[in-house]
Structure 1
Amino acid sequence: MSEPIMLFKKPSYPINDSLLKYLERFDRISKVSIFYDDLLRFSGSITVYDKHDQDTLWIRVYYNEFERQEIDLNLKKIYSLLHSDGNLGILKFLNVDCIDYCTFGNSKPFRIKVRNILNDNYTHFYIKKADASRVYGLELEHILSPDKINFLVYGDTLVEEHIMGIAGDVFIKTLLTECTETEKAQIAKEFVKFNERCMIRLLGDMRAYNYVVIPIHDFDQVVYRIRAIDFDQQCYEGNFKVYRPQFFKENYPMVKLVKDKLQNSSIEQYKDEERSVLAKRILSAENRIKMLLKIMGQDNIAPDSHLEQLQMELYNYTNDLNFKKAKSMGNIMIAAFEFIIRNYKNINLFKNKVQ
């Protein structure tokens, strides 16, 4: 049996003043005074089961009447901040249907279901303990991924919007085998790109239940995208394999799909494409990324032993001395982005000479 590549639970790191100022500048600070700890004062709970009567590891929590009224009002205000810039006029059309608490995982989030009473449409958002690693991960996801993401911070509390999609483990177990051969090849391509994206931006622990698969109907076909939904392991682990989804046993069916459906030349092509796209995004948001990475470079978000291990493993992988010289996880991110941009510019210079 293979040895697990993640051995210990990650601690929570506080958000420092510099990061708070950055978040305020980019409108990430909540104006609603609700704390994660407020939601922990529930008076009762019941287990939440899925449609197959399996325990979901979530519990539905209840509060006494007086506290519930205040909590509901603040939760509706948070919804309005996430989705309509704080327009309080919509509050009378909203109802907090349920508050669920997750007993599994590192962040132990609360999941809030808010419904529009006029048409019964509903959405979810999450309330968690604020953690600097997660905030850096969310910001980098917003800036560098194909998708934007809304989140808010208030004191030691983090609010995240729900990311829609089919949980990766559920997709692999119930839907992957039903896909056509063409769809499987497209999913394999997407997994290669997702793997490369996570590796470059050092987003770790992308086991199957930490990402979603999103089917998109396009003319006469369905294309699939893969999107991360958990950002707790941003630049924390020292083991480089943690940042490469291909090494988690839960993702083996995806890895097998890549081996079965793609030739090595195609795999390298898709990796190059993803690096090129990431380089363009880094350059287009250069000032914001520099600001974020400067703060990250001065922050402590991992033990020294993890930093030293990752320095050497990245140096061995790239032969880039900048990884050896990095004095923090933020400096490693700077070195990684500089490495990608340097290669992107060299490739384009070569193309221009050929033309």
Structure 2
Amino acid sequence: MADEKLMSKKKPAYPVSEKLDRYLDHYNRKIEIPIFYDDLLRFAGSVVVYDDNDEDTLWVRVYYEDHERQEIDVSLKKVYSILHSDGSDRIMEYLNVDAVDYCTFGNSKPFRIKIRNILNDNFTYFYVKKTDASRVYGLELEHMLSPYNLNFLVYKDTLIEEHIAGIPGDVFIKEMLPKCTESEKAQLAKEFVKFNERCMIRLLGDMRSYNYVIVPTHDFDHVVYKIRAIDFDQQCFEGKLKVYRPQFFKENYLMVELVREKLQKYSVDQYKVEERSIVAKRIISSEDRIEQLIDICREDSISLDKHVEMLRSEIQAFILDMKFKQCKNMGEILTLGLDFVKRNYENVSMKQIIENKIDIKS
């Protein structure tokens, strides 16, 4: 198990480059919004938010002076309309800002906004954060390389993210995992292997249990579990390869034990191959867009030189590909990693085609 020494104490925020800004504009990620992160920092006070067990959630509920509250509410409802609808004002009268929460824990210090439809009491959340280039790369890569589409907006120094629904991993492991059936535990073990592989391939770090959610879906007579990342701050930043492999965090110890108990080595290898193949197919299907993003990333600086040097050495030793020694930044490391996955998939596919042809002729 990894410990806190794996992670840097503080990750700096990296600015969005001109090329990345143009990319976001081209793909409708850059849209003008009426409120910024710094505007929400002007709260007059706060109260601690506790969960159902009266434990501190590390979020505080903030409140504003009366003369500012109305303007902030209108602006936040407008942001909701831009994020989830057509950006018009016609739905505004049916919306209410139920809560503005501020997280005192972690790197991004986000605001969580709860918006409720007053006609039917349905509600949803979105997050307001400081823009960080590595986080933007993480969101875009998740959108293209994972099974899930992501909705987010970037405007100047403010990032708006939609809420990713699910049961926080740490809560699930503590409260729900012990109640799962043996079949469900085996399925969770499989999903953790695939999630672990996917994070490593696209260099998404710090997937401790509170940075991902478990998503249960009822399917006929059983429940299907999926694992989704919810925090993208550590995209391509740390230098240690273990940071990009969730299995090495002590918070995931019980999930790792589940894999050991429920899966044979052959099955683990099979699921790793499955995930690499799925990621390779996604790279091929979104090739133009992902090439644009990676080209921009190769010219960008989103980590420290010492981290780049360490990671390229560790990946070279892991994959045994000398090309990694020539990498000058995280974008080049990411490029080679994705090319490696894609190339292996295409080589195996071509080999199968040739073998099938030989079988038919014989």
Matched residues, number: 355
Q: What is the correspondence of 1:241-260 to structure 2 with a 5 Å cutoff?
A: 241-260=242-261
Mapped to 2, the partners of 1:58 and 1:341 lie a distance apart of 41
- 2:333 matched residue in structure 1: 332
- 1:237 matched residue in structure 2: 238
Mapped to 2, the partners of 1:130 and 1:91 lie a distance apart of 26
- Name the amino acid aligned to 2:98: D
- 2:292 matched residue in structure 1: 291
Q: What is the correspondence of 1:295-314 to structure 2 with a 5 Å cutoff?
A: 295-314=296-315
- 2:76 matched residue in structure 1: 75
- 1:149 matched residue in structure 2: 150
Moved more, 344-353 or 305-314: 344-353
Is residue 33–residue 154 contact of structure 1 (8 Å, CA) maintained in 2?
no
CA shift, 1:8, in A, is: 2.1
CA shift, 1:349, in A, is: 1.4
Is residue 134–residue 231 contact of structure 1 (8 Å, CA) maintained in 2?
yes
Is residue 34–residue 154 contact of structure 1 (8 Å, CA) maintained in 2?
no
- What SS class does the counterpart of residue 126 from structure 1 fall into? strand
- What SS class does the counterpart of residue 89 from structure 1 fall into? coil
Mapped to 1, the partners of 2:262 and 2:132 lie a distance apart of 39
Is residue 9–residue 106 contact of structure 1 (8 Å, CA) maintained in 2?
yes
Mapped to 1, the partners of 2:202 and 2:41 lie a distance apart of 33
- 1:166 matched residue in structure 2: 167
- 1:57 matched residue in structure 2: 58
Mapped to 2, the partners of 1:198 and 1:334 lie a distance apart of 15
Is residue 126–residue 161 contact of structure 1 (8 Å, CA) maintained in 2?
yes
Mapped to 1, the partners of 2:231 and 2:135 lie a distance apart of 8
- What SS class does the counterpart of residue 113 from structure 2 fall into? strand
Is residue 8–residue 238 contact of structure 2 (8 Å, CA) maintained in 1?
no
- 1:32 matched residue in structure 2: 33
CA shift, 1:276, in A, is: 0.4
- What SS class does the counterpart of residue 227 from structure 2 fall into? strand
- Name the amino acid aligned to 1:271: K
- 2:97 matched residue in structure 1: 96
Is residue 37–residue 129 contact of structure 2 (8 Å, CA) maintained in 1?
yes
Is residue 133–residue 302 contact of structure 2 (8 Å, CA) maintained in 1?
yes
Distance 1:2 1:99, change over 3 A: closer
Mapped to 1, the partners of 2:265 and 2:347 lie a distance apart of 23
Mapped to 2, the partners of 1:290 and 1:352 lie a distance apart of 27
- What SS class does the counterpart of residue 175 from structure 1 fall into? helix
Mapped to 1, the partners of 2:86 and 2:20 lie a distance apart of 22
Mapped to 1, the partners of 2:74 and 2:31 lie a distance apart of 14
Moved more, 61-70 or 235-244: 61-70
Mapped to 2, the partners of 1:166 and 1:87 lie a distance apart of 32
- Name the amino acid aligned to 1:158: L
Mapped to 2, the partners of 1:323 and 1:288 lie a distance apart of 23
CA shift, 1:354, in A, is: 2.1
Mapped to 2, the partners of 1:285 and 1:2 lie a distance apart of 34
Is the aligned partner of 1:189 residue 2:197?
A: no
- 2:342 matched residue in structure 1: 341
- 2:273 matched residue in structure 1: 272
- What SS class does the counterpart of residue 222 from structure 1 fall into? strand
Cα RMSD for the two superposed structures: 1.0
Moved more, 191-200 or 68-77: 68-77
- Name the amino acid aligned to 2:203: L
CA shift, 1:353, in A, is: 2.1
CA shift, 1:2, in A, is: 6.3
Is residue 113–residue 125 contact of structure 2 (8 Å, CA) maintained in 1?
yes
Mapped to 2, the partners of 1:234 and 1:327 lie a distance apart of 17
- Name the amino acid aligned to 1:263: Q
CA shift, 1:86, in A, is: 1.1
Is residue 114–residue 126 contact of structure 2 (8 Å, CA) maintained in 1?
yes
Mapped to 2, the partners of 1:225 and 1:153 lie a distance apart of 28
- 2:12 matched residue in structure 1: 11
Mapped to 2, the partners of 1:274 and 1:2 lie a distance apart of 23
Q: What is the correspondence of 1:197-236 to structure 2 with a 5 Å cutoff?
A: 197-236=198-237
**TM-score, structure 1 as length reference:** 0.98
- What SS class does the counterpart of residue 307 from structure 1 fall into? helix
**TM-score, structure 2 as length reference:** 0.97
- Name the amino acid aligned to 1:338: D
Mapped to 1, the partners of 2:277 and 2:185 lie a distance apart of 24
Mapped to 1, the partners of 2:352 and 2:20 lie a distance apart of 40
Is residue 114–residue 122 contact of structure 1 (8 Å, CA) maintained in 2?
yes
- What SS class does the counterpart of residue 88 from structure 1 fall into? coil
Give CA deviations for 1:241-282 in whole Å, capped at 9, x if unaligned: 000000000000000000000000000000000000000000
Is residue 212–residue 230 contact of structure 2 (8 Å, CA) maintained in 1?
yes
Is residue 25–residue 31 contact of structure 2 (8 Å, CA) maintained in 1?
no
Distance 1:265 1:144, change over 3 A: same
Mapped to 2, the partners of 1:141 and 1:305 lie a distance apart of 26
- Name the amino acid aligned to 1:163: I
Mapped to 1, the partners of 2:342 and 2:134 lie a distance apart of 24
- 1:175 matched residue in structure 2: 176
Is residue 93–residue 118 contact of structure 1 (8 Å, CA) maintained in 2?
yes
Mapped to 1, the partners of 2:259 and 2:191 lie a distance apart of 9
Moved more, 67-76 or 254-263: 67-76
Is residue 311–residue 324 contact of structure 1 (8 Å, CA) maintained in 2?
yes
CA shift, 1:9, in A, is: 1.4
Give CA deviations for 1:43-71 in whole Å, capped at 9, x if unaligned: 11111111111111111111111211111
